[in-house]
Amino acid sequence: MTSWLHEERLQAVEAALRDSGARRVLDLGCGEGDLFVRLARQERFDTLIGIDICAASLARLRDRLARADVRAGHIDLRIASMVQPPPDLRGFDCALLVETIEHTDPAHLSQLKRALFHQLRPDRVVITTPNAEFNALLGVPAGRMRRSDHRFEWTRAEFQAWCGQAAQGAGYRVMFSDVGGAHPDLGAASQMAVFDLAHAWQDGKDGTESWTE
């Protein structure tokens, strides 16, 4: 993963989070906390919860937080699965899945959809994932994925189809944007979906929109 792309991705997610005005935030699959530490340094959040299935990653994140200038009272880190989330995390302002969904077993994607959009049901969901179409420009050989621990990588059409079905089935609207370049044929290195719980949306559309930056 190139550093420029990683930084652009984090900035894009932070912008989507800032735009929502969220104060209670879930970082699902927080890992070692490149995003989580940045958020923990900001005063505007009342609650930050990170979950991950890897105890070693959470231990490294705790070490990073201990070295950072953050107030610890609003932070909670838990060993947990995105597909079986703790029930007390329902109804947060925003949930973030930053380069984590592609680590999910494809057989569990329906379970993840239910857990995220029906059980947790945050007001906003932000998902980023690699754009498989861009891989050739990053030097990834045909038939390979960017990382050996990825279980799949979606094209733009596949990502938008999954997100559109998730949004329509749970009462969300979803908008898409590119992160990390904008090739005229292959799109960007990463793709981002921002879902909003559509309390007031009764227009009969399929719940999907797109925008470009």
- The predicted-structure confidence for 112-166, as pLDDT tens digits, reads as follows 999 999 999 999 999 999 999 999 888 888 889 899 899 999 999 999 999 999 9
Q: What are phi and psi of 95, to 5 degrees?
A: -120, 135
Q: Which CATH number fits domain 3-210: 3.40.50.2000, 3.40.50.1460, 3.40.718.10, 3.40.50.150?
A: 3.40.50.150
User: How open is the CA angle 168-157-8, to the nearest 5 degrees?
Assistant: 95
Cα gap 201→213, rounded to integer Å? 24
pLDDT tens, position by position, 69-90 = 787 779 999 999 999 999 999 9
Quickly list DSSP for 88-129.
GGTT-SEEEEES-GGGS-GGGHHHHHHIIIIII--SEEEEEE
- Report residue 128 as tokens: 């980023």
pLDDT level of residue 201 (50, 70, 90 thresholds) = very low
Span 4-23, mean pLDDT? 93
Q: Where are the alpha helices (DSSP H) in 68-120?
A: 109-114
| pTM of the entire predicted model | 0.90
Beta-bridged to residue 174, according to DSSP, are 195, 208
Specify the higher pLDDT residue, 168 or 70.
168
